[in-house]
Amino acid sequence: MSSAGGRENRNAQHAKSPPVRPLALAEWIDGQPSQPVSALIPDEYDDHHARLRGFASADYYGAGLMPTDGPTVGFLWTFRHQLPVQCIGVMGRVDISIVYQLERGGCWHHLPGRPDWLCADDAPAWARGALYTASNPIHVGDETRLYFTGTIDRHGHCGHGIDYAQWVKTLKELRGFARIGLAKWTRDRIMGYRSYLSNRIILTPGTRRVEGLTLNAVTEPNGCLRAALTYENGEPIPGYGFDQCQPIAGDHLAAPLRWNNISRWPTVPENRSLHVRIELTNATLFAFDFAYAR
């Protein structure tokens, strides 16, 4: 179990604790948790973004997680403090941003620029104070759904600056201070690799024997995806080149890669490694799934 750290954890980390190894994890063993590990710690860049939005500083309040067979996606609750801030921030807005971990135990990464994924300021009127996600999203058919709580007032505000009786009256008129909302998107499409022209990426399936590969992708009307199989040094595998690949075009959640007149994937010698080179032309690749021999 990885954890998000707040401002007080950040200061303690620098003052008392040795640096945490990137692969360190807290775990649940024999019904007991191990010592927690600070996996995500806010920094001055988060404070900078808070000030750009009219706040004083920022902390991480919590996170929802979406594990997959590969990366783990996190829905990070960024708590941006408004003045006055004493030893910790009490009042402020909570927005949601995306973080991700490429493999279990790996380092957590922010998206470039750390943009808000779901900003309370852009939410419906009932959720413009603070946002808190469920612990994890759920898959329903070809759709992913993430429930979240939205509050009318900011965190710690509770009618600050108005008469308490008036605040209670307002809550009754609004029928409470919080609602449950729903964010949804096409399954496995929360992030993608977009190529407007023509670009290539390499997928490496590891040492297990591969029997297939499906792609979750969308292309523009004049776009497509193709693939070629090579060894680790770039040496092409005959019959599995870009020109022999059947192009993938359109909107597909699980489009299989195929090569003309070949129904099976090649057998790779034990001393060699397989690389799949994906060519994207005006296309977006969201996810991929290798099928391995049993």
Q: Same structural domain for residues 160 and 204?
A: no
Residues 26 and 140 in one domain: yes
Same domain, 17 and 134: yes
Report the C-alpha gap between 102 and 246 in whole angstroms: 29
Among residues 163, 186, 209, which one ends one of the domains? 186
pTM score:
0.79
List CB contacts of 7: < 8 A, sequence separation 6 or more. Answer: 42, 57, 59, 88, 89
Same domain, yes or no: 163 and 220:
no
Cis status, amide bond into 84, omega within 30 of 0: yes
Cα separation, 25 vs 35, whole angstroms: 9
What per-residue confidence (pLDDT) applies to 9?
38
Same domain? 164 vs 205:
no
pLDDT score recorded for residue 207: 81
Strand 210-231 relative to strand 274-292: parallel, antiparallel, unpaired?
Answer: antiparallel
186, 209, 230 — which closes off a domain?
186
Domain count, the chain: 2
Same domain, 161 and 215: no
Does 170 lie in the same domain as 33? yes
Residue that is last in its domain, among 186, 210, 239: 186
Residues 28 and 59 reside in one and the same domain: yes
pLDDT of residue 161: 56
Other Cβ atoms less than 10 A from the Cβ of 9: the count is 19
- Asked whether residue 41 falls in the same domain as residue 103, the answer is yes
> Cα 137 from chain centroid?
11
For residue 241, the enclosing domain spans 193-292
Judge contact between 213 and 289, C-beta under 8 A: yes
Note the maximum CA span of the chain.
79
**Per-residue tens of pLDDT for the chain, all 294 residues:** 333 333 433 433 333 334 434 445 677 888 888 887 778 899 999 999 999 999 999 999 999 999 988 889 999 999 999 988 776 778 899 999 999 998 887 889 999 999 999 999 999 988 999 999 999 999 999 999 999 999 988 888 665 556 777 777 777 777 777 899 999 999 999 989 999 989 999 999 888 889 999 999 999 999 999 999 999 999 999 999 999 999 999 999 999 999 998 889 999 998 899 999 999 999 999 999 999 888
Does one domain contain both 28 and 133? yes
Residues 248 and 269 reside in one and the same domain: yes
Contact status, residue 63 vs residue 99, Cβ threshold 8 Å: yes
- Measure Cα distances from 292 to 49, 168, 210 in Å: 44, 60, 5
CATH code of 257's domain: 2.60.290
Residue position matching structure tokens 């009490």: 90
Same domain, 118 and 80: yes
